[in-house]
Each structure stands twice: as structure tokens, then as C-alpha cells.
Structure 1
């Protein structure tokens, strides 16, 4: 698929695809993000992509699938944010000292991450930026942003998970 063909698909179908994505996501910016991801994926796969149905049907299916992926990612992100803030907002489980210790542990894990991975993670979780915004800001692809986020979350889960498990054990079991 050539650049002129992709441009033509964009011009012919963007408005209808946008309305379709908006009907699923109910948010203008999210719909635009999904369309950007769909067309970036189309561009990145242009040399190996073989569309067996009509281009229009392929684009609609891509927007549908990417919209569902987007909803899932946002749901997971909100769960992580809610979980992270629940410890800070509800110190009934842990006292202030323990919350401070966890914050130090998280900061230590962040310091050990590769710089690009850390930057992507902080922009997503602290600055609440969408993957497309991060990709544009760091001049990388959305897929690269996703890969960095996946790596960051694996590092955090692996490190913090072990630390959390150890913190739950009685002191005498560590001897």
C-alpha cells in the first residue's frame, strides 16, 4: 500500500470513521487517538498488509478493534490509578510511615528503569497523557510507547510485588 493510497483512504473515510469511533468511545479526543493509531498501524504495516475484504470494511473493523483495546487499556489504567491513590487516600491499612516507605520504594524502582521507559511511564501515569500524545512528544511510535509501558509495569510488578510480599511476612519468618 502506497502513501497516496493511504492518503486517499484517510480523506475518504476519516469523518465517518471518527463518528464511528466516537459512537463507541463517547469522547472526541479518544476517538481521534484511536483513528491516529489505526492510520499509524496502517502506515507501519503498509508493505506487508494484504486486505482481503474492502478497504472500508477493513478500516471499520480496525477502528472497532482499536476502540475496544483503548477501552480495555483505559480501564486497566484507571484501576491502577485508583489502586495507587487508595493507599494515599485511605491510610487505614497502613500508617503514614509505611506509606512513605512505599513511596521511597517506588521511587527507587523508577530510578532503576531505563530513561525512555521511565519517561513514558511518568508521562502516562503522573501527567495523565495518552499514548498518542506521549508518542508525539517523544518522537516515537505509539507501539513503542506501549512497549515501554509494558516493560515499566513488568518491572514495577516484579519489584514491588516481591517487596509487598516480604512486607506481609512476619519478621520471625525472615530469620
Structure 2
């Protein structure tokens, strides 16, 4: 059965096409999501949700790439949705509590050195990205407030924060002694 035939049969509600899709791609998708989250049960749940979602939207679904790519992207998005809903953060910078670090908890020289290195990294961010990062992490402003003040969407703020955190994570070894 080729992909176009599977998609056509899915749209018509043919359960055999759905069963074929499940048996053909389920393990592959579970392995992919498992590599993202390192949790087999969660991976299986997310893949099942994605495949059930495909079945529920079968009549209106538009697939412009291969079915395999579509399922891959759907599962990836399902994983990202899960992260957002649980507010899981996977970066070392969020582990550092900006309001807790103080000269009393670190030797003054070490504190100043780390802050100097962190400021150097922050200053390497593009201007807009830097401004959003500072407002969120140092000034403790919410994404919605930043977006409103800057006249941009919350999604843009999220994207800019993602870029900033990715850059800082990639270069954190220079600031974590």
C-alpha cells in the first residue's frame, strides 16, 4: 500500500488503513520520541495521542510531505506540547535562581567573575533577543507583558527566549567554572 492510498483510505474512515499506519510506524515513532524524552511510557503515550489525533482529523487533514514526515512532525509537536503543558525546562540557566545568587552565598570574587562572564554572553545576543532575555530573566517579566510592551506576539517572545537560552546553554561552559 503506497502513502497516497493510505491517506485516501484514512480520509474515508477505513480502519484497515489506520491499523496499517499504526503497525507500520508506531515503533519507529516511539523510538524517535523516546530519544527526545528518555521515557518509554511517555513516548508511547505521546505517539498514541498523535496517531489518534490523526484519526480524529482524518477528513480535514492535509499532508503536503510524505506520510512518514508528517507523522514525525506531529509526534515532535506532541512532545513540545507536553513540555509546554508541564512547564518543564531543560536548561542549566533556569536551575540558577537569579534572586537567590548573592554575594553572601558565593565568595565575592567568584560571584563577580561568574556574573561578568554571564554578562559577556548576554551582550553577545542579538539586541532584540538580549532585551527580551533581560526583561524575562533579570527583571522577572512575563512573556505576555514583554510582548505587549514591545508590540510583538507572545510566540515571538517565546522564540527569542528559545534562541537566547540555546545560545547561553551552548556557551555555558565558559561561565560555569
Name the TM tier (shorter chain).
Answer: 0.3 to 0.5
- Which structure shows the higher helix fraction? 1
TM-score of the superposed pair, with normalisation by structure 2: 0.46
Larger Rg: 2
TM-score of the superposed pair, with normalisation by structure 1: 0.46
